[in-house]
Chain A
Amino acid sequence: MPAAKAAFYDVDGTLVKTNVVHVYAYYAMNRGSILGIAGRTLATAASVPLFAAMDALDRKTFNEFFYRYYAGLSEDRLVAIAEDMFEDVLKPALYEQTRDLIDQARRAGCRIVLVTGALDFSMRPLARYLGADDMIANKMQFVGGKANGKVIPPIIEGANKANAIRSYCVREGLALEQCHGYSDSASDYAMLSVVGRPTAVNPDMRLRSIARAYNWPILDLK
C-alpha cells in the first residue's frame, strides 16, 4: 500500500498572480465610509515602495509590518468581504492552468494543501473553490471582534512554512519524502527543501537558479 502523500501549494504568485497587498487593498477600498476608504487606500498606496523594500529585505519583517495595517478592522466585516474579494480579486487572478495542476495532483492521490502567508479568512473561499483539503495560513488576532494587527505566532513564512508542513505530515500520517511542494519564490526555499518532490512555479530569479542547481522541475504556469 503506497504511503499517503500531499501536494503543498504556496498561493501568491504560485497559483494566483496577486499577493497579500492586493488583498489588503481590496479591504482598504471597501471600508464602509468615504473617509475610511480614502484614508486606508492612500496610506496603502503611499506605503507600496516601503512594502517592496521590506519584502526584498526579509519576508518575515514585511509580513509582521504589513499585517499591522489590518488593525482596527472588524472580524465579521473581514470574513464577509472575503467572498466578494475572492470573486473580484483572486478568482480573476488565478492562472488558467492552476486547476489542471491541482487536478493532476489529486488524480495522483495527493491531498491538496494550500500553504500561504496570507490570512486564513481571505484564503478560505479560494481553498473551497480549488477543492483544497486543507490550508495552512496565518491567523489574525482579534480583540473584542477587531483585528489588532498581530498574527498568531508562528507566522507562516520562510522556515516556518517548512516546520508547519513537517508537523502537518506527522499529524496526518503523510510520507514527507513522497509529498510535492510548489512555490514561486526563493523565500520558500525551506518549504521546497523539506518535501521530497519540490517544483518551482513561475520562479523568481533566485529560485530559478536554485531549481536549476538542484534539478527541480520548473513550471511556467499561464
Chain B
Amino acid sequence: MRPLKTLQKLYDEESQVVITEKGSPPRALFYGENFLLEDLPVGTRVIFPRPPLAGVPNVKAAIRWAINHPEDMEPLHALLRPGMRLTCVIDDISVPLPPMATPDVRQSILEVVLELCADSGVDDVHLVIANALHRRMTEGEMRRMVGQKIYDAYYPDRYYNHDAEDPDGMVELERTPCGTHVVAVNRRVAESDLVVYVNVNFVPMNGGHKSMGTGVTNYAGLRAHHNPKTIRSSESYMEPSRSELYRRNERVGKAIDKHLKVFHIETSLNNRMFGPGVDFLHKKEEDYTEGDRLKLHGMRYALGKLPRAAARKVLNSIPAPYDVTGVFAGATEPTHAKTLEKSWQQYVVPVQGQSDIVIFPIPFISPYSVNSVLNPLLVQVMALGYFFNLNRGVPLVKKGGVIILTHPAFDEFDPVQHPSYIEFFNRVLPETRDAMEIEQKYEKEFAENPSYVHLYRKGNAYHGVHPLYMWYWGENGRQHVGKVICAGAENNHVPALLGWDRTDTLTEAIEEARGFMGRSASISLLRIAPTVMVDVK
C-alpha cells in the first residue's frame, strides 16, 4: 500500500486533470461575453485550474513583515532619511484580471509605506503608475486603485500616470555603443533617492526586472525587448530561465539597479477570480450542484439576451475577490524568486505529454481591454500570446499542432482606447502578417504618428506602436502551431485577416482539426479562467 504522503501528492497532482468519458458533463467554456456549453470527444484531457490557495490572514501585517525583513536589502525604514526624495512606482490596471475587489493590494501596500514615510520625515513622495506604453488610467480607476484617502492627498500633482512621450520627462541611463539599445526611465524616478516598486504578480511574467525595465521606460527603451526576434527566441514568457524576453529585461533591469536604489514589494495572489454568485466557475463541471447548473443556464440566457456592450458592462462590473497569498520585499532578483515560487504553486498543473489539438476558451477580458472591448488583435494575443505561453518551458500543443479558440471574433474596436489598433488591423494585416516585415516597415510610423502620441499622452489610448507589440506577442505561438481555428466566429473576415480558419461550432472545429492532425489526434482543453499553467512532463 502506498504511504499516505505519496497518495496525497498523487491526488494533488492528478486531480486537476480529467479525462473525458462517455458520461462526462458538458464543459462551460468562455466565449467572449458569454459561455458555450460543449460536450467534448471521449478521451479529451481537461486541465482545470488549481483551487485557490489560502490567503495570508492579515495582509497589512504581511506587508509590514516583508518590508521589515527584506531580501538582500536593509529594511525599508532603515533606507528612509528625512527630506529625501522618494517615488513609489505602481503596477497599472492591466493586472490583476478582472480588477480585484477593493481594497486593492496596492492600496494596502501604499497605506503602510506612506505612513512609514510620513513617520520618517519623508514628505517629497510621488506615486507614478508604471503604465509604460499602456493607456493612462482614468481618474476613477486611479481612485479605486489606491483608495479615496491617498487619492485625495496625492492626485493630481503627486499621483499620476507615467508619460513615455514627455520630451522632458525621461532620463537616459545607458546606451549601447551602437546606440540601438537605450536604458531610459521616467525623470522623477531617475532623480529619486529611493524608488519603491509596488507590484501585483498576476502571472509569473509580471514582476522582477520587468517591473522597472518596462513599466517606466519609453519606446526607445522598449525596443530592446519588444521585438519579434526576442519573442521568437522565447520558449515561454512565464518561465524566466526560458524567456529571452525576460533575459533582455534582466539586462535592462540590472543597468537600472546599477544607477538607482529600488526597493521592490511584490505580492502574489491566489486564483479566486470569481466571487459569490459566480463562484461555481471555479469548479469542475462534475462537481456542479443543481444550483450551479441553474446559475450557469440563467447567466447564459441573460448574457445572450443582452446587447454585447451591456453584457460586457455586467461582466466588467464583477470584481475578483482575490486573496493575497504572499508579500515579498527587497532586491529585485531574490524577491522575485520568492514571488515566482508562490505563483507557480498556485497556477502550475503537471500534465503528461503534449497534445495535437488544444482548446483555449477566450474570456471577455485581457490585460489591455479593462473597461473596453476585446478586439480581434487582443483575441489573437490572448490565444497565441498568453494562453499558448501558459506553460513552464514546453507548450501544451505539439509543434505543428492545432489551437482551437472559442470566441465570436467580432470586428469591434474601442476608438478611445485602441485607435491605432484600428489602422493596424485594417491597413497592415491585409498587406502582411509577417512580424519581421511589419517591424521593418511600419513600427516607426505607428510609434511616431503624432495623433496617436497625442491620444496616448492626453487621452486614454494605448500608444500607437502597441498593436504591433500585440502582433509580436503572438509570434512564438504563430511560429509553433500548424493551424488556428476560431470556433464560433461570427464573421469570415476577422479570422481570415488573422490567418485563421473559422467554424460555426466547437464540434466542427474539432472535426477540422482532426482532419488536419489525424483521427487519433490527442485533444486537451485548458479550462481557463481562472488562470492555470501547465508543466508538461
Contact = CB atoms under 8 A, between A and B. Distances in A.
Interface of A: 2, 7, 97, 100-101, 103-105, 107-110, 178, 180, 182, 197, 199, 212, 215, 217-220, 222
B440 to A, nearest CB: 12
Contacts, number: 54
Contact of B455 (A2, A197, A217): A217
Interface in B121-138: none
Interface in B451-484: 451-455, 457-459
B415 A219 contact: no
B454 A97 contact: yes
A215 B451 CA distance: 13
B452 A217 contact: yes
B165 interface: yes
11 contacts: A2-B444, A104-B454, A178-B445, A197-B451, A212-B415, A215-B413, A215-B415, A215-B423, A217-B419, A219-B459, A222-B458
B317 interface: no
Nearest to A200: B451
B73 interface: no
Given A108-B453, A217-B415, A222-B458, 10 more contacts: A97-B458, A100-B454, A100-B457, A104-B450, A104-B457, A180-B450, A215-B422, A217-B451, A219-B454, A219-B459
A109 B449 CA distance: 10
B458 A105 contact: no
B80 to A, nearest CB: 36
A70 B415 CA distance: 43
Contact of A197 (B413, B422, B449, B453): B449
B448 interface: yes
B426 interface: yes
A109 B450 CA distance: 10
A42 B320 CA distance: 65
A9 to B, nearest CB: 11
Contacts of A103: 167
A109 B167 CA distance: 15
A28 B381 CA distance: 60
A107 B167 contact: yes
B417 to A, nearest CB: 12
Contacts of B444: 2
A222 B458 CA distance: 9
A178 B441 CA distance: 13
Nearest to B461: A217
A100 B457 CA distance: 10
Contacts of B450: 7, 101, 104-105, 107-108, 110, 180
Nearest to A219: B454
Contact of B451 (A2, A178, A180): A180
Contacts of A101: 450, 454
B426 A219 contact: no
Nearest to A5: B445
Contacts of A100: 454, 457-458
A212 B449 CA distance: 18
A110 B454 CA distance: 15
B448 A215 contact: no
A12 B422 CA distance: 28
B448 to A, nearest CB: 4
Contact of A108 (B449, B457, B458): B449
Contacts of A105: 450
A2 B445 CA distance: 10
Contacts of A108: 448-450, 453
B455 A219 contact: yes
A104 B453 contact: yes
A7 B426 CA distance: 22
A105 B449 CA distance: 7
B135 to A, nearest CB: 14
Contacts of B422: 215
Contacts of A7: 450
A217 B463 CA distance: 13
Interface string B488-519: 00000000000000000000000000000000
Contacts of B165: 104
A199 B454 CA distance: 11
Q: Which 4 pairs across A and B sit closest by C-beta, in order of nearness?
A: A104-B450, A108-B448, A105-B450, A199-B451
B219 to A, nearest CB: 12
A148 B57 CA distance: 85
Contacts of A180: 449-451
Contacts of B453: 104, 108
Contacts of A199: 451
Interface in B150-198: 165, 167
Contacts of A109: 448
A60 to B, nearest CB: 28
B421 to A, nearest CB: 10
Nearest to A198: B451
A218 B413 CA distance: 14
Interface centre among A97, A101, A178, A219 (most CB of B within 10 A): A219
Nearest to A220: B459
Interface in B422-458: 422-423, 426, 444-445, 448-455, 457-458
A218 B416 CA distance: 8
Contacts of B448: 107-109
A218 B451 CA distance: 8
